Structure 1
Amino acid sequence: MAQWTFGAVGDVFVNRENSKDAFVGSSGLLHQIDLVFGNCEGAYTDKPHFAPSAGWRVVAPTSNGIDLAKAGFDVMAVANNHIVDGGHEGLIDTLNLLKSQGIKTVGAGANLSEAIAPAIVEQNGLKIGFLGFASHYPRGYEARRTVPGLAALRVHSVYCNSPTTFNEPGAVPAVRTFPYPEDVELLKFLIGDLRNKVDLVVVSHHWGLCKPVELTDYERILGRVSVEAGADIVLGHHHHFLRGVEIYRGKPIFYGLGHFVFDLPGLEVIHDEKELEHLKRRGEYGIYPREGYPLSPFHADARMTMAVVCDFEGKRMTSVGFFPCQINQENQAMPLKKGDARAQVIVDYMSKISTETGLQTLYDPVSERFGLAYSRVRISAPHEKG
């Protein structure tokens, strides 16, 4: 059986003066992987109609997105909390731009039917199916029967007594999160239906909180339900930081892939001094301008990222691993060499955050692959029954 590789990275959005330098250093790696996925975290349009519910408007001229296929991307998720920042026209412009480059998209469309439709890619004689969903998004971004938008999976937040206190009125509550049962049933149906048409299924989820380490209840629920319904690989994004990996029923759930190239310039322009001080008071992990990183207003931990690789023989997955990457001051994700101590720092970080969230995943020490640092993902005690 033919051997081939599937790769994935996290948030991708190019918004800089020279868009052609965004993937300097990383494009070589992406082109060594047979099938590459990324999350398109914003809208490319020359005629934005800004959504009134948008926060930071992650919108760039079309010229910024014209080289994504050249960088190495084959499939991109467009279900995220910024894809409608440029309005419905901006969403359609983005889909058309990606399509014009031969990039398949999942997770948004001109109506609900298009938003939940799969993308199917042929690779080494196999059919690989993709689905994309978002659980974190501004109100109004969700697709409806005749309205453009994203494929939404809704989630309930339940406030209950903290497990560390007595029934104490006024105490800070615990927040538990659970997906809508009807949306879970839709997710299971869509995965199961796609499973019957393809050899492998990849499901992308935009989910979680923009805090380091923390995994919410619903992320674990939706991740495992996706595998139980027939997904072979589950990819998570949105957090800005890496998350741990779980091997569930023999299938990898990457809870958060972090940034890859995510440009967010100009916060010091759109906010006055008082507003910037307010942002800084949110704590060290807040989003505000960082000296020396004009395109990346995030904590230093958000500069650690990865390119995930799953190896296959035919449709049998033979290994799972990742290439540690460091985001530099030009906001380029740079794959690290084996001798670079920062590679082991990222592997150790993955081990730490996995342990802190109760995942039993193990990560091999840095080895070498494609001339770069690489770590294989293992598991000490598989969860076969959930």
Structure 2
Amino acid sequence: MSLTLALAGDTMLGRGVADKLGRTAEPEAFVSAEVCQRLAGADLVLLNLECCLSDRGTPWPGRRFRFRAPPQAADLLAGLGVGCVTLANNHALDYGPDALRDTCRHLTRAGIRHVGVGDHLAEARRPLQVEVGGLRIAIVAFADHPTDFAAGVSHIGIAHADLATGTPSWLRETVSSLRDRADTVLLTPHWGPNMVTEPLPYIRHSADALLAAGVTLVAGHSAHVFHGVAPPVLYDLGDFLDDYATDPLTRNDLGLLWLVTLDEHGPVRLRALPLKLGYAHTRTATGDDWRWIRDRFTVACARLDSSVRVTGQDLVVELRDQPGGTP
């Protein structure tokens, strides 16, 4: 028994993407046919939704960037086959509590689950448990910033964990409670600063602590550029769809769609499809862009003691030792 989990990184559907949504919500207007086909081949698609879905709300004070997409963005996500999003990030409350509640409502209407936020602390921290293809997957989401978005005992917000001083006990205990109730415990954290090209030491320490607590797969995000893999930790998924300016050094316009094979014992293998992000449109990477992604990903993985092989246009990393060699 096995299935494919598609993991996409930061997805921002406001600003220029929202303008395009005013004209069409057809998936292939935003994501190429080949990428759509890869998503359609997955048993579950999960991404980090880095914006509100609402036509109302009050801008959160002191924010340099605020992202809000129209309600029909939920239909675009559904059309792409997205089954779950994490909302525990630094844009969930860009337009305040009303817009966050709208986001949850529009996602639910479109048949998309969400995790990492809630009307109170216990709800924000609550894992999402789903059964897909006969396998039980428990999803835990949190963000390590910003502190002013953190849910409280009686107020709405994100699941927040301050990792700078260590991994909080509530997070370790949440993970431990899931070990006997799930085939895979998926941790999807929004951690670390933007535009760094490798995980910082405190991120690596937290990943180790949470693996020891019972996490079986980590899929992080926040940097806007992909990081290497230290199986079973995908430190940063990079970006998936947005209208962001491109940094010429870190190349946040080049990314990966992460396709993870799971079985009843957890993650087996990663197949990563190289992507080229344009203005409100994402397609498969080709030519020099594909080679840049291959080379950077290979080096980044080697620094974390993992290896990459090329299969067609995919970059493959084994997430678990295979008996008798690598198939």
Q: Tell me the equivalent position of 2:202.
A: 218
Q: Tell me which of 259, 266, 290 is aligned to 1:343.
A: 290
Are 1:14 and 1:22, in contact at CA under 8 Å, matched by a contact in 2? no
Give 1:147 shift. 0.5
How many residues are matched? 309
3-state SS in 1 of match to 2:289: helix
Q: Tell me the equivalent position of 1:302.
A: 252
Q: Tell me the equivalent position of 2:77.
A: 68
**Whole-angstrom distance in 2 between the partners of 1:218 and 1:3:** 33
Give 1:55 shift. 2.4
Are 2:151 and 2:158, in contact at CA under 8 Å, matched by a contact in 1? yes
Give 1:75 shift. 1.2
Where structure 2 has 5 or more consecutive residues not aligned to the other structure, the ranges are 322-327
Q: Does the C-alpha gap of structure 1 residues 107 and 379 become closer, same or farther in structure 2, counting only changes over 3 Å?
A: closer
State whether structure 2 residue 142 is matched by structure 1 residue 143: no
Q: Does the C-alpha gap of structure 1 residues 155 and 125 become closer, same or farther in structure 2, counting only changes over 3 Å?
A: closer
**Whole-angstrom distance in 2 between the partners of 1:155 and 1:4:** 32
Q: Tell me which of 120, 127, 131 is aligned to 2:129.
A: 120
Partner amino acid, structure 2, of 1:218: Y
Are 2:229 and 2:300, in contact at CA under 8 Å, matched by a contact in 1? no
Q: Does the C-alpha gap of structure 1 residues 96 and 47 become closer, same or farther in structure 2, counting only changes over 3 Å?
A: same
**Whole-angstrom distance in 2 between the partners of 1:38 and 1:221:** 24
Are 2:261 and 2:267, in contact at CA under 8 Å, matched by a contact in 1? yes
**Whole-angstrom distance in 2 between the partners of 1:79 and 1:228:** 22
**Whole-angstrom distance in 1 between the partners of 2:45 and 2:210:** 20
Partner amino acid, structure 2, of 1:312: L
**Whole-angstrom distance in 2 between the partners of 1:380 and 1:189:** 25
Are 2:60 and 2:96, in contact at CA under 8 Å, matched by a contact in 1? yes
Give 1:379 shift. 8.0
3-state SS in 2 of match to 1:237: coil
Give 1:378 shift. 4.3
Q: Tell me the equivalent position of 2:325.
A: none
Q: Tell me the equivalent position of 1:363.
A: 308
Give 1:380 shift. 12
Give 1:344 shift. 3.0
Q: Tell me the equivalent position of 2:116.
A: 107
Q: Which has the higher contact order (CA 8 A, sep 6+)?
A: 2
Q: Tell me which of 244, 256, 265 is aligned to 2:236.
A: 256
Q: Does the C-alpha gap of structure 1 residues 238 and 316 become closer, same or farther in structure 2, counting only changes over 3 Å?
A: closer
Are 1:361 and 1:380, in contact at CA under 8 Å, matched by a contact in 2? no
**Whole-angstrom distance in 1 between the partners of 2:55 and 2:319:** 47
Give 1:320 shift. 1.9
**Whole-angstrom distance in 1 between the partners of 2:142 and 2:289:** 33
Runs of 4+ in 1 over 4 A off after TM superposition: 378-381
Alignment of 1:318-329 (within 5 A): 318-328=268-278
Q: Tell me the equivalent position of 2:32.
A: 24
Are 1:80 and 1:150, in contact at CA under 8 Å, matched by a contact in 2? yes
Q: TM-score, normalised by structure 2?
A: 0.88
Alignment of 1:1-386 (within 5 A): 2-15=1-14, 16=17, 17-19=19-21, 20=25, 21-25=29-33, 26-137=35-146, 139-156=147-164, 178-179=165-166, 183=168, 185-247=169-231, 252-262=232-242, 295-300=243-248, 301-328=251-278, 330-336=279-285, 340-355=287-302, 358-365=303-310, 367-368=311-312, 373-378=313-318
Partner amino acid, structure 2, of 1:364: R
Q: Tell me the equivalent position of 2:324.
A: none
Q: Does the C-alpha gap of structure 1 residues 297 and 45 become closer, same or farther in structure 2, counting only changes over 3 Å?
A: same
Partner amino acid, structure 1, of 2:57: P
Partner amino acid, structure 2, of 1:10: G
Give 1:341 shift. 4.6
Partner amino acid, structure 2, of 1:8: L
Where structure 1 has 5 or more consecutive residues not aligned to the other structure, the ranges are 157-177, 263-294, 382-386
Q: Deviations for 1:44-97, whole angstroms, at most 9, x for unmatched residues?
A: 111121111422111122223332111111111100001100101111111111
**Whole-angstrom distance in 2 between the partners of 1:148 and 1:140:** 11
Q: Does the C-alpha gap of structure 1 residues 93 and 231 become closer, same or farther in structure 2, counting only changes over 3 Å?
A: same
Partner amino acid, structure 2, of 1:109: G
Give 1:108 shift. 0.8
Are 1:130 and 1:203, in contact at CA under 8 Å, matched by a contact in 2? yes
Partner amino acid, structure 2, of 1:327: L
Partner amino acid, structure 2, of 1:32: G
3-state SS in 1 of match to 2:88: coil
3-state SS in 1 of match to 2:197: coil
